[in-house]
Amino acid sequence: MPPLSVKSFAKINLGLLITGKREDGYHTLETIFAPINWYDVIEFSESEVISMSCSNVTLPVDDNNLCIRAAKSLQQFAGIKSGVTMRLHKQVPFGAGLGGGSSDAATVLRVLNELWKVNASSADLHTLAVALGADVPYFLEIKGLAYAKGIGDDLDDLGFTLPYFVVTVFPEEHISTVWAYKNFYPRFDRELPDLKQCASDLCLSGKKEVFPVFENDFEPAVFDHFPAVKLVKSTLLEAGCVFASLSGSGSAVFGLFESEEDALAAMKRLPETYRKSLTPPGFSMEQ
């Protein structure tokens, strides 16, 4: 079998509200996931054992890597000895809040379920995905926008996409999720907006007045500690985007633009050393 090459798309968070903390230490949240046209590529080749290599030599390729963990979890679930060699072409920045590692893990589960002819059910794959990370089920199951609650694994496919050009910028700062959860400023006692309805009002009815609802609770602490990240948001707003925000736990920042011309002009205003992505309106992970 020739190597099979598959794209693993990243995501942004349109709003991320941390709503509480469970007894097991996990935080609960509400968010809107949206896919962007920034992706890793994974090549799958036949092998007798599970192994991988990566274009980024700083990333581990042992059992600490989510791709390896995903492959071994499916192998163990199915009770098989099939192997695979994976080559990860890493393009989505890590420590950016874009879910690159989670997307890669979801791709491995989906592809190997077919290649190994495991035929695991959607429910079984969901269980495996949750064990790998809270964002993994989104990438496994949904192509466009999704509302998520719980620890991020309780998903509702919204069935629509963003009607804007999305400029996503990585300001070359790596922020760990652990750091973000230790340092954010809790607001557990506030009244929560209806994120799902607001997303619908924005994407289906064009109601821009809902934008202030889409806060990211990690943003104040990240901006206090990483001024370069805050400056990216300011630059995008000055360049004419209709909305800008931190994605996930950072450090990537995205801006929504109504015209491609304005989006491209904004990208030119940012340092050349910052990696950037442009996503067209109506984008889904099926493309």
Tokens found for residue 179: 């750091």
pLDDT at 287: 58
Share of residues in the chain with pLDDT > 90 (%): 95
Which tens digits make up the pLDDT trace of 6-16? 999 999 999 99
pLDDT at 78: 97
Q: What's 66-104 look like in SS3? A: HHHHHHHHHHHHHCCCCEEEEEEECCCCCCCCCCHHHHH
pLDDT at 2: 81
Which tens digits make up the pLDDT trace of 90-113? 999 998 999 999 999 999 999 999
**Residues with Cβ within 8 Å of residue 173, at least 6 apart in sequence:** 95, 226, 228, 229, 250, 251
Nearest to 202 by CA among 216, 214, 193, 186: 214
Active-site residue, from 11, 90, 233, 276:
11
Structural domains present in the chain: 4-157 (3.30.230.10), 165-279 (3.30.70.890)
Residue tagged 């919204």 (tokens): 158
- One-letter amino acid at 85 equals T
Q: How far apart are the two ends of the chain, measured CA to CA in Å?
A: 24
CA–CA separation, 250 and 12 (whole Å): 10
* Predicted confidence (pLDDT) at residue 25 exceeds the cutoff of 90: no
pLDDT at 129: 97
Which tens digits make up the pLDDT trace of 156-172? 999 999 999 999 999 99
Catalytic site residue 11? Answer: yes
Average pLDDT on 53-58 reads 95
Catalytic site residue 7? Answer: no
Active-site residue, from 40, 90, 104, 135:
135
* Predicted confidence (pLDDT) at residue 286 exceeds the cutoff of 90: no
